[in-house]
Structure 1
Amino acid sequence: MRMILTNAYGETSERELRNLVLEITEENEGDWSLIVFDKPRDVDGTALLSYAHILDPDDQWMYLPAVKRVKRISSVNKSGPFMGSEFAFEDFSSQEVGKYSYNWLRDEACGERMCHVTERAPLYEYSGYTRQIAWTDTTDYQPRKIEYYDRKDQLLKTLTLTDYRLYEGKYWRAHDLFMENHQTGKNTRLVWSDFVFQAGLTESDFTTNALKRAR
């Protein structure tokens, strides 16, 4: 996956990273994920491990190869930017359905499709958002756009998801995720190159020790 960061002056920088996910089926638990940066050299080996929970605070650890140290991310600080991007730490945790309350607003056109427009409010503590408004395709139930409102209930960011592709006849995945920060003028684009399912990952691949060996 490529991460393309653009500042308010239109200047860009690019990073390459991998995202591994392990599905967890236990009640009240979300999926585990491991994000590893490969390029450029100054971020090579930097990694983020996340254990998502439904209502309890997610557990997150970050490995910083420059100091050879695993740092636990505080539950009260997950609204901060991840690696200088417009995605927050909480955006990279698994988006479980049970984390939010929902309110249907309306159906409307979104491009050439029709979308359900739904307001969702985080039920977990320490979110950086008061609410989110999501546009979801009424046919394939694909998220198309999400607006994020900050703690003052002002529009902070908009995520646009495009280039959906079908895997194994049943998994739709967006290959282009564009996050625009309306308050800073910055944006970050995530471009996925491929998805692999049933990759043989186990819980041992998602530990703090594995975090140190991720590069």
Structure 2
Amino acid sequence: MKRILSSLLLAVAAVSMITTAFAETPEEKGLAIAKEAKARNTGWGDSQADMTMILRDKGGNEAERIVVVKNLEVKGDGDKGLSVFEQPRDVEGTAFLTYSHIEGNDDQWLFLPALKRVKRISSSNKSGPWMGSEFAYEDLSSFEVEKYSYKFLREDELNGEKMFVVEMVPTYNNSGYSKTIAWIDQEHYRVHRIEFFDQKNDKLKELNMSEFKQYMGKYWRAHRQEMENVQTGKSTTIVWKNFEFNVGLSEDDFNKSSLKRAR
């Protein structure tokens, strides 16, 4: 009997050692969550949508901008995006083009119709505000797993849904953030909230996403995004509508010459 009990104890200890050896670290779990989130939003091809952007200062005064946004998936690299401002008149015809990359700095250009020229956004200016909003230029790039290191922090609940909370540290140059913390739902792996921290590691902004709708039976899009700068009191609300997928966009719709003819 003692020999049997001893054998059982040894077996339990062995299983425990094996389980511990193969247990995920917080870094491995964070990376696995990010990969799953990316995998669930891959394969949509191209898309187009209308965006209303509401800029709000600390006193609550508002300014509204109407934008048409086009996106294109690129095999083996990050997405391409083109944003064309339609209203108000002082920004009409302004166009913003971004080439996201899996590694290295993204490429971004801004066409200013008043100057009739295309301006390249330098990598050192990616943390600057995009068109006066609380979104930075780097916030406009597509999410690429390889551009961050990850750490799973905890499980949480947000608006009645179970969440993974994951810390993401940019590994690319010239980011304005020391880290971001994302709330990702456990059912669909959609990002619901992101907290942004400046280079002093102080909280800078908070982005909340809501009003999710599913397209093509697979792909989720948040129709409302609210970015608040907790340091200045300014905020930007983005409302999306008229999402369309596989509208026939190609690489030709996302080159620098397309900026000038985009209006």
Flag whether TM exceeds 0.5 (same fold).
yes
Cα distance in 2 for residues equivalent to 1:171 and 1:93: 18
Matched-pair contact (CA < 8 Å) for 1:55–1:123:
no
SS at structure 2 position matched to 1:191: strand
Could you tell me which residue of structure 2 aligns to residue 24 of structure 1?
Answer: 74
Structure 1, unmatched stretches of 5+, are: none
Aligned positions of 1:60-79 closer than 5 A: 60-79=108-127
Structure 2, unmatched stretches of 5+, are: 1-50
TM-score (norm 1): 0.98
Cα distance in 1 for residues equivalent to 2:89 and 2:237: 20
1:207 paired with 2:260, answer no
Could you tell me which residue of structure 1 aligns to residue 91 of structure 2?
Answer: 43
SS at structure 2 position matched to 1:124: coil
Whichever of the two has the greater Rg, that structure is: 2
Matched-pair contact (CA < 8 Å) for 1:62–1:72:
yes
Q: CA deviation at 1:194?
A: 2.0
Match among 33, 38, 54 for residue 4 of structure 1: 54
Matched to 2:197, the amino acid is Y
Could you tell me which residue of structure 2 aligns to residue 128 of structure 1?
Answer: 176
After superposing on structure 2, the runs of 4+ consecutive aligned residues of structure 1 that deviate more than 3 Å are none
TM-score (norm 2): 0.80
Could you tell me which residue of structure 1 aligns to residue 228 of structure 2?
Answer: 180
SS at structure 1 position matched to 2:199: coil
SS at structure 1 position matched to 2:69: strand
- Give deviations 1:70-117, integer Å, cap 9, x for gaps: 000000111000010000000011121221111000001111101000
Could you tell me which residue of structure 2 aligns to residue 58 of structure 1?
Answer: 106
Could you tell me which residue of structure 1 aligns to residue 238 of structure 2?
Answer: 190
SS at structure 2 position matched to 1:42: helix
Cα distance in 2 for residues equivalent to 1:65 and 1:125: 30
Matched to 2:173, the amino acid is E
Could you tell me which residue of structure 2 aligns to residue 84 of structure 1?
Answer: 132
Cα distance in 2 for residues equivalent to 1:91 and 1:138: 23
Matched-pair contact (CA < 8 Å) for 1:76–1:126:
yes
- Give deviations 1:49-73, integer Å, cap 9, x for gaps: 0011122110000000001000000
RMSD between superposed Cα atoms in Å: 0.7
SS at structure 1 position matched to 2:220: strand
Cα distance in 1 for residues equivalent to 2:143 and 2:68: 18
Aligned positions of 1:155-174 closer than 5 A: 155-174=203-222
Could you tell me which residue of structure 1 aligns to residue 201 of structure 2?
Answer: 153
What count of residue pairs does the alignment treat as equivalent?
A: 213
Q: CA deviation at 1:168?
A: 1.6
Which structure is higher in strand share?
A: 1
Cα distance in 2 for residues equivalent to 1:107 and 1:2: 33
Match among 79, 83, 101 for residue 149 of structure 2: 101
Cα distance in 1 for residues equivalent to 2:93 and 2:116: 10
SS at structure 1 position matched to 2:243: coil
Could you tell me which residue of structure 2 aligns to residue 142 of structure 1?
Answer: 190
